Structure 1
Amino acid sequence: MRLFPLGLAGLAGLIGLASPATAHFQQLLPSADVLPEGGSVTLDMVFTHPFEGGPVMEMARPARVGVLAAGQAVDLMPALVETPVDGKSAWTVTHDLSEPGAAVFFVEPQPYWEPAEGKFIVHYAKVVVDSYASGEGWDDLVGLPVEIRPLTRPTGVWSGNLFSGVVLKDGTPVPFAEIEVEFVNDGSVEPPNDAFVTQVIRADANGTFAYAMPRAGWWGFAALVEADDTMASPDGSQVPVELGALMWVRATTMDGK
């Protein structure tokens, strides 16, 4: 058999095939997860790879941004401000929490076309901010097409605690759903190899999962479910749609960091 040398393009292609896919996460990170005295909270929305600190992907103006508090949903789209990150569109919103109780912030992004995977991605993200450290209302559901129902209160969580939840699609548990877990790395954690970048777990037959967060900081839980319907790709062909139910949880060390 005659062997032919690979050009740079061919070598790059083989490297690309050998490399693991990088997990996409729709970040929705508040300036605080608990407001002991109430007040304003600012949330940053970036579509990126949290553990690796990038690259940041273009995030079109979201289809919907809101907050659920005391059973009432408030539209936050008028307060949305574009705040580019690394030259790519990203967004922030600031909201005042003047009453005690948990506020469930959520974002529905526009579908993102991922040519490398041949599919669209729509990640519905949410995060809970507890006003006046009330401890109430943290498990209220927004009613998103895919959503994580927390079984562990997602605020006031120590590092090392177990976070658990149920993956829902149209309000029904998803058996054996796959959940990707990533830490928002500030560069202080160096993984031994790529297998440590994205943790992967599965829900049980009842759609329930659990994960112990080993380090203080923000953790993203992305339950991935394929949509029932396809969408037209840029070339007009019908392609699958990945729906993500994302929830963000902050762990704190016992020295308060």
Structure 2
Amino acid sequence: MALVCVFWATTVSAHFGMLIPDTDETTQQKRDVELTLSFSHPFELQGMELEKPAEFFVVIDDGKRMDLLSTLKETRVMDHTGWKTSYTPKRPGMYSFVFDPVPYKEDAENNYIRHITKVVVDGFGEGEEWNKPLGLETEIVPLTRPFGNYAGNVFQGIIMYKGKPAPFTRVEVEFYNKDGKRTAPNERMVTQEVLADSNGVFTFACPWQGWWGFAGLTTADEPYKGRELELGAVIWVEMK
């Protein structure tokens, strides 16, 4: 029985809140942003159900926060419930989109999962102060600009929990294998892992073109419905 438990422990895939726009920048020729929200194993393209989030909003670089929850429309992502919307920036600036989900019950791990997920879009080439915290319960504050990156670039960020750096936090990293063309030589290679340092800073080099998800994982101080609550600070970054 013990051997069976070890086997299952090594094959559980990483979960990711996903917030994927159709562009990481707006231009005069491309003014709208189409966003898709889901919950999945992004490399293996295995979806899970995503209830309508508890919150969905955008933070503009002047600090203004706009509620977008009512704009969401149900859709199908990887054969499961997801959500979509569109947004048109009114002026140049930086637009940080965030969704905070209803905690997901994960019986395989006997816990609940809450991934506070964000993505940053550069509005008309004027996105600045991209390393400014949004004040989320947990978040990744980027030290690398979270848009306009080449494949092969290093991405750095600080894991924050309740406004302070979270030292030695485990960070799971996964590629959104959207077209299914990438294969992993073994299960260990599906999800990459790095550890933040004593200042909560982590570093990862992204080898491929496409969207990369980073999830800094902590445990909430209080359980949720009698189970441990995994908190994920998730950010998505496109490498071009």
Task: Please give the range of the TM-score, normalised by the shorter of the 2 chains.
Answer: over 0.9
Q: Which moved more, 1:199-208 or 1:91-100?
A: 91-100
**In structure 2, which of residues 189, 192, 195 is the aligned counterpart of residue 199 of structure 1?**
192
**Residue equivalent to 1:85:** 77
**CA distance in structure 2 between the aligned counterparts of 1:14 and 1:138, rounded to whole angstroms:** 43
| Preserved CA contact (<8 Å) 1:148 1:167 | yes
* Max Rg structure: 1
TM-score (norm 2): 0.94
**In structure 1, which of residues 163, 184, 202 is the aligned counterpart of residue 176 of structure 2?**
184
**Residue equivalent to 1:250:** 238
- By how many angstroms is 1:120 displaced? 0.3
Relative distance call for 1:101 and 1:196 in structure 2 (3 A) is same
| Preserved CA contact (<8 Å) 1:139 1:149 | yes
Secondary structure of the corresponding residue to residue 42 of structure 1: strand
**CA distance in structure 1 between the aligned counterparts of 2:206 and 2:78, rounded to whole angstroms:** 28
Secondary structure of the corresponding residue to residue 142 of structure 1: coil
- By how many angstroms is 1:189 displaced? 1.1
**Residue equivalent to 1:157:** 149
- By how many angstroms is 1:15 displaced? 9.1
Percent identity at matched positions? 42
**Residue equivalent to 2:14:** 23
- By how many angstroms is 1:143 displaced? 1.3
Deviation per residue, 1:196-219 (Å, 9 max, x gap): 100000000000001111010000
**Residue equivalent to 1:64:** 55
Relative distance call for 1:14 and 1:246 in structure 2 (3 A) is closer
Relative distance call for 1:75 and 1:16 in structure 2 (3 A) is same
Q: Which letter maps to 1:189?
A: R
Deviation per residue, 1:172-224 (Å, 9 max, x gap): 00000000000001211111111110000000000000111101000000000
**Residue equivalent to 1:210:** 203
Secondary structure of the corresponding residue to residue 225 of structure 1: strand
**Residue equivalent to 2:215:** 222
Give the CA RMSD over aligned residues. 1.5
**CA distance in structure 1 between the aligned counterparts of 2:25 and 2:49, rounded to whole angstroms:** 29
**Once superposed, which parts of structure 1, at least 4 consecutive aligned residues long, lie more than 4 Å away?**
13-16
Secondary structure of the corresponding residue to residue 83 of structure 1: strand
**CA distance in structure 2 between the aligned counterparts of 1:195 and 1:86, rounded to whole angstroms:** 22
**CA distance in structure 2 between the aligned counterparts of 1:14 and 1:242, rounded to whole angstroms:** 21
For residues 130-149 of structure 1, the aligned pairs below 5 Å read 130-149=122-141
